[in-house]
Structure 1
Amino acid sequence: LLLGPVLLGAAWTILAVAILSVLCYREFARATGFFRYRSLSIVVVLGIIATTFAIVDHWYGFFVAIPPLTMVLLAMVAILRDEPRGYTQRVGLGVIGFLLFGHCLGHLGYMANDADFRPIVMLIILTVELNDVFAYIAGKTFGHRKITPQTSPNKTLGGALGALVLTTTLVSTVGHFVFAGSGVDTPVKLIGLGLIVSVAGQFGDLMVSSIKRDIGIKDMGASIPGHGGLLDRFDSMLLVAPAVFHYIAFFRGFGLDQPTRIFTGGG
């Protein structure tokens, strides 16, 4: 669903990620009942819009400032409801909703500020998808011992380890060409990148499964026939996007050769 916008260019990628963030948040808010709190839901959506502006403006300082600002605003707006019972739950759901779908997914959009973002983002999207496939195949072949039977009964130790090995191998092999000549292009760092993709992807899946079990539903939505909702399709990306972004940024950087604060007067 994101490969098309990535091929079309940075603006389309950022727009697609923003739309995906809002739609995933919408599914989350409906499933958890957070939509009942209209004012708080508006704060979360405004946070996602602000995040998108920070990405388009290539203003990293604002990008990382939005989460605490959104949390403060959620806490303040929730107080104005004058309903102390359930206050912690309401604010907590708002914070989780923004952090996962606004900030975490937003990192995928921020990558588009890099001149060479296409192969990087495509590598991440494809390997996250294949990580799920590898886990399924390895689980069917070698999996017997359940990892979290109460959270996700189909997840097995064999599947998790199989995905870890296969995804790490794939990322480190293809990553050698994607990051050729950069600070990421060493065997140890590429293996580290592969481990992050696999581990973060599997935990993202389990995290959303935990939310679904907590509220007693099977799928977050029904927007994709046979797959549930968008959130069921992109759950593995939630933790991968920020983890991979900061890992690559540490060794290579993102958009260092591009102008910053395009609309707000940067250099």
Structure 2
Amino acid sequence: MNTTPLRLLIHGASGRMGQALQRLGSEADSGCDVVAAVSRKVDARVLEGIPQFAASELHGVPEFDVAIDFSLPQAFDAILGLCVARRVALVSGTTGLSDAQKAALDAASVLIPLSWASNFSLGVAVLHTLVERAAQALPGWDCDIVEAHHTRKLDAPSGTALTLGEAAQAGGAAPHYASLRAGDIVGEHLVQFTGMGERIELVHRASNRDIFARGALHAARRLHGRAPGRYRVADLL
């Protein structure tokens, strides 16, 4: 069995997810070696043993096996381009991508293995399936998706809410969305199906964002060495 640590690049390292990925990816039993952390700007060259790079220095980062990207749409093109240029895998949870950026993901998947998801928790992966099955079984019922996040989250509805909406649409429903931004809520998603005199609620609540970071790290380990293509979280978890 290969025991060589997986060399990781963390892109969007100063954000909450980026910080969690650096911490968890540096744990002795993670099976990973964080060789570079990239942020918009840096105040120190090394933090907790991890080399730090500014976004303007992205093309000077050392060799890596997989990049994990939790940044912003305006930073996404650069990390996708670097992964394609170096023919290495990409795991991305950056939401709010434009149609052109989504098309670029599809084009890149011909050359590299990649996994883009709005949410890397196993529970949400299961929720997608449940939502689609409920929509198929309840034709004509109203479908509403309510999501809540911390006040610093910029996009609304959340990427996870939109992905759940796609699952509902695949089952024949027409979802409506509502968003809440309050306090330090990590992430809550409610998918509600309402008929005459009855209602079904499917809910996922995240109390710790480590679940997303651990899921992304697991996806990175499973993605490395695979053939080019787009992989769902369910394919990797």
TM range (shorter): under 0.3
More helix by share: 1
**TM-score, structure 1 length as denominator?**
0.25
Bigger fraction of residues in strand: 2
